[in-house]
Chains A and B, each alone.
Chain A
């Protein structure tokens, strides 16, 4: 079932056109890997999906409903904020909030959101209990229950990234995006993060993962998009992308250049 559809996303920074008409769709429960050389626009695409950048052109449909249209009226802050909640984003360098414990990092945004509900006053206890229960479950899921009250600065990079994933999940996004989640990590720490992604994929979380981990992409992603200079040069099943008879020469040489 189609969850997300992107049509003709274009984005320029000044004179540089970074996205030159990106279109793809994503089914619910699918894991999509986006690969491509540095500077091809992968980060910019994820930022557009998360409304950190506004595309110059294009439309986004979520669940069949138009969520963004560049030619429509400019959305206000509150509207963007609401739309943004449909997505989560895990950054390359984690961006945890250093002054909060792991558990507080998970609960902060959901609690602020709950406080905006009209019936918050009457149901405060219930809301908070629900948020904390969910956060506890998420910490268990990423294997960091023991670090519940630790501060981010005391964690390894891999642990911080797992907290960041749990924090993104605490908002229950429809689609979770990852921007090279392991490239700031020492090699021995990437596995623990990839394992979390693996288990999320097996639970049918809808995910878009920008990654340079080809083995991981081949194994976990059902589909691969190869970006090349702002366009999608390949979009197909990962078996095809990483298989012997990959139809796209540039993709083939790109995968070859990374795996060697």
Chain B
């Protein structure tokens, strides 16, 4: 279980998170929606400790994340970054198998490569891309490689930051199914950030909407259409007018 309580984070005068509260039960798929620049990426970076919150507490399975041994803690996580964040000096398979080539999960190179190719297949990529460099791939392909890297060591907790942005609708469907599968099969806890309402409906057990630095609404996916929250309604129907300001 992941629990964030009253988390604040500001960059200078830019108050990004202003008391965010969020609870994600173990084995559930939480989808976070919200306008761009509202701090969704920062929210999950706070959980991973990549960004230090100014105040508030974050617990994973009841333990404060600032007080646990970092290596063991991070070994439980997988993360797909919004921009892919592939290591451009390493070929695709070494990116995917990064964790398996060094550190506590180290295994023989040949075996790591096998696993990498298997993970690539799961995200719809053939073995021919294994030896290419990330820079030789399109943005959508890089995203899928990055997804393969996030799931490679079979983490218990996985964060997906905009997994389908930049993919064609069919590939987006494949990725949605994959994320759903990972959560149900591996029993993983997932937080997915997305703007894509099709993804939301395909992936989510729970939905949370971030607005104004706080979680405005959270509830099971079944309640999303009857949330009764004007902000959520405006967002899921993509209406240009409503309580969320749009500057024009």
Query: Are A and B subunits of one complex?
Result: no
Chain A contacts to B: CB under 8 angstroms = none
Binding site for A on B (CB under 8 A): none
